[in-house]
Homo-oligomer: A and B are copies of this chain.
Amino acid sequence: MVVPLQADLATIVEGVNLVWVLTVTFLIFFMHAGFAMLEAGQVRAKNVSNQLTKNLLTWSIGVIVFFLLGAAVSTIIAAVTGGPSATITDAFMSLYAPDAAATTAWVDWLFGAVFAMTAATIVSGAVAGRARLGAYLTYTVLIAGIIYPVVVGFTWAGGFLGNLGFHDFAGGMIVHGMGGIAGLTAAWVIGPRMDRFKPDGTANVIPGHSITFAVLGTLILAFGWYGFNVGTAAAPLAYSEADGLTLGSFAYVGRVALVTTLGMAAGALGAGGVAYLKTDKVDTLYVANGILAGLVGITAIADDIVWPGAIIVGALAGAQLPIVFEFIEKRLRIDDVCAVFPVHGSAGILGALLYPVFAMPVWHGGASVVSLAIPQFVGVGVIAIWTFAATALVFGAFRAVGLARVSADHERQGLDTAEHGVDTYPEFGGPDADTGIRADGGFTAGESTLGASSDDGFTAGESTSDASSDNGHVADGFMSTRKED
């Protein structure tokens, strides 16, 4: 009677935990819709489809590479840096063909994969509007297959940073910090968009094409982030013969849910507040990105701080956003289009480094601040250096052979037409022939009086044979593929 009961309890634990892990994994996957909308909203209309394509392909290529290579690399790197020993064969085969008893092997992999793809997709926001698709996708293969898995090998998989005591609950540094650093590095190597800086070096604002899509993306990301953070408390129930059935990681899930909520709220107020102090306006995108910065700031430490700490860390992570963004723009003159470094990079670093200040082991357990601080500084430093070096090497190599960015003509025309053969919004404001900028009504109108009035128009109801020939920038698009005609 006792044995079956224990087996029953263990099965219940496994079933409940799978329900939870799968649910939060789906939520984290949905963050890709958030990134796609956030980034699409923050780029010019002429580059939207390029941005969306990068997002779709980051997931599609990245997840295959992470299955075939990346996950095993984590295991191997962990093994060679002091973690659990593993042969190269085992590293691959435990995923390619797990034991029948390892029912959760593939679910666990997918749970890891959605974190990996988050790190990978952050980069695309920094290099928007000029990175060549081939260079970007090559980097995607490398970040999914090697660069990110090495970081996981050092840390969560049990490598030397993990052994040192580096604390990163849900990837504030491992996922977001590294993604932000990678994005900033790539943007630096590739160089700014044309006209982003004036000849005298001052910055020129290039606003994104739709704040609505950007805010939608923000809220989708916040939704998915509950999966990201709260879901990292991945084992609602636990069972052992000694302790019986316990709440497992759900013993502290309330704390994680609370500090995630307060951290995101404080981030919005921090970013919006600093922007308001600087400009007397409440900037919508700073408030939105402040929500994300607050979430990033709290992500590394959400399991182990008290709620007043969450409000402070979230507010600081938000407050640094306008300041760091301006520093990057005006001092470093790097064109980080979607502000991925201030939102993911510096906010992630900040949260990880502030851990010892707010850690419950310090406040409630008598741990020394210094003993907690050392692993954090070492961990942040190692991850930052590795990410910077690997990213600079990849994009530097592409730059050296002239393949890092699209031609000036293509950039001016817009990457959608030039690289993808599509026009994202063919009915709204024709892109100007010279600049590729989707013209305001007024601007185009001035042009149109010069006789160009029918060039951009889609005129299905009129003489379609004329229209379609004028309409070359759409003709190669979806549902056309007329190359062979």
Contacts and interface: CB of A to CB of B under 8 A. Distances in A.
19 contacts: A15-B237, A26-B227, A45-B427, A48-B212, A63-B261, A194-B460, A212-B424, A279-B480, A279-B481, A283-B422, A322-B481, A325-B479, A430-B440, A437-B459, A437-B460, A439-B457, A440-B456, A442-B453, A447-B453
A76 interface: no
A36 B215 contact: yes
B483 A279 contact: yes
A283 B421 contact: yes
A426 B210 CA distance: 8
Given A286-B478, A422-B284, A52 B11 contact: no
A397 interface: no
Nearest to A46: B427
Interface string A197-212: 0110011111111111
A452 interface: yes
Contacts of A279: 421, 476, 480-483
A33 B442 contact: no
Interface in A200-241: 202-213, 215-216, 218-220, 222-223, 226-227, 230, 236-237
Nearest to A432: B461
- Across the A-B interface, the 7 shortest Cβ-Cβ residue pairs: A446-B453, A435-B461, A443-B457, A441-B444, A106-B254, A445-B448, A285-B478
Contacts of A213: 212
Given A11-B237, A477-B285, A64 B311 contact: yes
Interface residues of A, number: 182
Given A23-B23, A223-B29, A237 B40 contact: no
B36 A253 contact: no
Contact of A195 (B64, B198, B246, B464): B464
Contacts of A15: 16, 236-237, 247-248, 250
A275 B219 CA distance: 32
A198 B48 CA distance: 30
Contacts of A384: none
Contact of A458 (B7, B440, B459): B440
B428 A457 contact: no
Interface stretch (A54-62, A152-160, A175-183): A54-62
Interface string A375-408: 0000000000000000000000000000000000
Nearest to A110: B257
Contacts of A440: 426-430, 441, 444, 456-458
Contacts of A267: 60
A425 interface: yes
A262 interface: yes
A205 B107 contact: no
Most chain B beta carbons < 10 A, residue from A32, A326, A339: A326
Most chain B beta carbons < 10 A, residue from A11, A105, A109, A459: A11
A22 interface: yes
Contacts of A272: 57, 60
B474 A207 contact: yes
A412 interface: yes
Nearest to A254: B106
Contact of A428 (B20, B429, B448): B429
Nearest to A40: B212
Contacts of A280: 483
A396 to B, nearest CB: 24
Interface in A87-146: 96, 103-107, 109-110, 113, 133
A332 interface: no
A301 interface: no
A257 B429 contact: no
Given A26-B226, A439-B457, A442-B455, 11 more contacts: A25-B226, A40-B215, A60-B268, A110-B257, A194-B460, A194-B461, A199-B465, A203-B480, A205-B477, A430-B441, A441-B456
A366 interface: no
